[in-house]
Amino acid sequence: MVHSKPSRHKLDWESKSHLMGILNVTPDSFYDGGKYSSLLQAEKRAIQMQEEGADIIDIGGVSTRPGSLPPGKGEETKRVIPVLEKIIKKISIPISIDTYRAEVAEKALNLGASMINDVTALRGDEKMAEVIAKHNAPIILMHMKGNPLTMQEKPHYEDVIREILKFFEERISFAVSHGIKENNILIDPGIGFGKRLEDNLKIIRELKKFKEFKKPIVIGVSRKSLIGKVLDLPPEERLLGTAASVTAAIMNGANVLRVHDVAEMSQVIRMTDAILRPKTEDKRPQTLN
């Protein structure tokens, strides 16, 4: 049985807003597909994100843009694992792996990855919960209606907040019943994953309602279509819309902001925190396994 190694990373989710830099090693992601597909490009970007203020780097080998089909397990492994091997000793911040496949997660955690970001909330692979529990690793449980191929085909909710709250209640219970520790669970309401524009805006507006679970809240709004729909802009022109959305998310309770533009959003997050949060130098950090 594999046990988690003592962690070198300590993060207190409540002491500040944490920036999760996106490192997509995919050819087809909606904004940066193909940009970091070579090992050298990925390594340079990871180091750059750390220097620009990222608290966590999230490596993903499967595009989850609307309408996308996932690659096979072998292809995902081929994309993600060599990048992790390349950067793990050159990066001093935690590395997250954006995957729903237990085999990919297992290999990554064995190599030193710190956490798993599962867009299926442990529904995509029946062995994932066992892997997370075995490694005592943090896990992000994300809400998604349907799957990336079909999720934006006329999604509908009677009450989007109530339905996502019910989803998290069930998924957190499932995770804990399968040996995952309560303090290793983060939740992500899944902006853009099977949501209409009005759903996405309401989630950000009413984010505080998700605080009832007493779990860190992860939000990914970076350059997403809700910004494009409001501002009528393509992905490459959505930086300011992202900044506004990140600020609103922090003001409404987000703990982790998942973004493409690390340098710019680091400034947005630091400024928003300076306004909203008291000094917390005396707080004791929690270990991120």
Catalytic residue among 79, 101, 171, 258: 258
How many Cα atoms occupy the beta-carbon half-sphere of 214 within 13 Å?
2
Tell me how far apart the alpha carbons of residues 46 and 86 are, in angstroms, rounded to a whole number: 10
127 is an active site residue:
no
Q: Which of 224, 238, 283, 284 is catalytic?
A: 224
Q: Which residue has the tokens 């935690």?
A: 94
Q: Whole-angstrom Cα distance, residue 7 to residue 1?
A: 18
Distance CA(183)–CA(178), nearest Å, equals 14
Active site residue 224: yes
Cβ(286)–Cβ(13) under 8 Å?
yes
C-alpha dihedral, 129 to 130 to 132 to 134, nearest 10° = 160
Which residues are catalytic, by number? Answer: 224, 258
